Amino acid sequence: MGLDLRRAEPADVERLAAVHVRCWQETYRGMLSDGFLDSRVPADRLPLWRHLLESAEPGVVWVASDGGTLVGFAGVHHVPAGDTTHAAAPPSSGDLELWGLYLLASHQGLGLGRRLLEAALGTSAASLWVAADNGRAIGFYRHFGFEPDGAADTIPDWEHLREIRMVRAGQPRQ
């Protein structure tokens, strides 16, 4: 397999939207209703991906591909001061937040998740939000130094999916 990582480009918009929705459907099946997940369509994600790839700073979104087929992505941004995305305040203003790391189920366990995380964050201090019932993801993030900090929230538009925040301190470069 030709498993590669690179920075996302504007030409990736449609493929990112499709992978994003497919990953949601694979990841959240059993946590959210089938009707909710089946109603998600790539066309609904296109405006977000266009915005991210046209206005984001370089290196904010990384994509993983297998022989040229997009199979996952990771996105990171700085949490702005006064962020109100979640009810809980950010750990501290301006910290990095991993806002998404998704891989198709067929490509999990191959080291791509680690590679995406390292490309997006390196060893920087960061935070992320993860579904409270997603034990596999929580275990993955713990392996890379993230721990729950006690903050929790729900996403009302997502059938009140409960999330927890995980954080890690920066690691010295070696």
Summarised one tens digit per residue, pLDDT across range 70-100 is 999 999 998 765 555 555 555 553 489 999 9
Q: What is the mean pLDDT of residues 146-172?
A: 93
Distant-in-sequence contacts of 58-62, Cβ < 8 A, 24+ apart: 58/7, 59/7, 59/119, 59/120, 61/7, 61/8, 61/16, 62/5, 62/6, 62/7, 62/8, 62/116, 62/119, 62/120
pLDDT bracket for residue 174 (50, 70, 90): very low
- pLDDT, average across residues 43-50: 94
Residue 107: the pLDDT is: 96
What order of strands is seen across the sheet that includes strand 3-7?
3-7, 61-66, 69-78, 96-103, 126-131, 161-168, 147-155
Domains and CATH numbers, the chain: 3-168 (3.40.630.30)
Q: pTM for this structure?
A: 0.89
pLDDT at 126: 95
